[in-house]
Structure 1
C-alpha cells in the first residue's frame, strides 16, 4: 500500500510525463503552424502533429485556430512551459497607460516600483492614451489605480453637480 508521499511522487511522475509530452508536441507543431491558411485547418494541424499526439493537444490547437490565435502559439508554448515547470506565477501582467509617451527613465522607475510591490514576475507594458490628458492608469492583474487627470476632472464634475 502506497503512502501519501509515494502517491504524490507517482502522481508527479505521471503529471511530468503528460505535461512534457504536451509541451514537446506543441513545440514541434508551432513552426509548422506559423503560417497556416484558413482552409482545412484540422488537416493542417493533424499534419503538424505526430501520429501519437495527445487528443487534448490537437483539440487545443483547433481551439486556437478557431479563435485566430495560432500566430501566438510560440508565446503560449513559452508561458505553458514556465507554468508547467512550477515556476512561480510569473505571468502577472501590468499595463501602464499614460497621456504621453513616457521616457525610458520614467518607465524604469515605474517598472522598479511595480516589481518591488508585486515581485519580479510582473510583466509590464506601456501604452499611450491621449484622452487621459495627464496622469497614469496602472492595471496589475485585476487591480486598477486610476490617477489620470480625466478621472480626477470627472470626480470633480460629479461633486459639483451633486452639491
Structure 2
C-alpha cells in the first residue's frame, strides 16, 4: 500500500521475503521460524560460530561446509537449513542475523503481532520474557514476538525496539547520561 513503511529493506529483506513466500507455500512457517530461532541462538552462544558467520576471511566453501556440520549437529533441516546454506554459498552469511530478524518480522505481521528487538545485558529467564511480553502487549495492544540478543556491554537493563520506537533502559546509557551531566556542571 502507498505510504506504508516496509518492515525491512535491502538485501536482508529480499532474502527474508523469498524465504517467507517459500515457507508459506509449504505450510512450514512455524517450523522454519523455530529452526531459524534455534540457529540464531547457537550463533549468540558460540564465539567460534559467531566469528565464522561474520568474518570475511572464510571462503564460501569453508562457511558452507562448517554451517552444514553445525546444522546437522543441531538437528536443523529442511527449508531453514537450505536457506542458511544458500546464504553461506552466496557469501551472505554475515547478514543471516538480519535476514532472520526480517523473516521474524514478516511472520509477526502475518499473524497480526508486533515484533520487538530486545537487547539485554544477560540472558533473560522465561519469567522475565513473559513479563516483558505482557508489558509490550499492554502497551501495543498486540501479541509481541521477541528477538532477544545479549550484549554484556550494557552492564544491566534492556534496550527494546518495537516498530519505530526505542526504549533504552540500559545501565550503560544511564551512566553515560550522568557523565555528560557532570561535565556540564563542572
TM-score, normalised to structure 2's length?
Answer: 0.43
Q: Which has the higher helix share?
A: 2
TM-score calculated relative to the size of structure 1: 0.48
Task: Determine which structure has more spread, i.e. the larger CA radius of gyration.
Answer: 1
Relative CO higher for 1 or 2, CA cutoff 8 Å, sep ≥ 6? 2
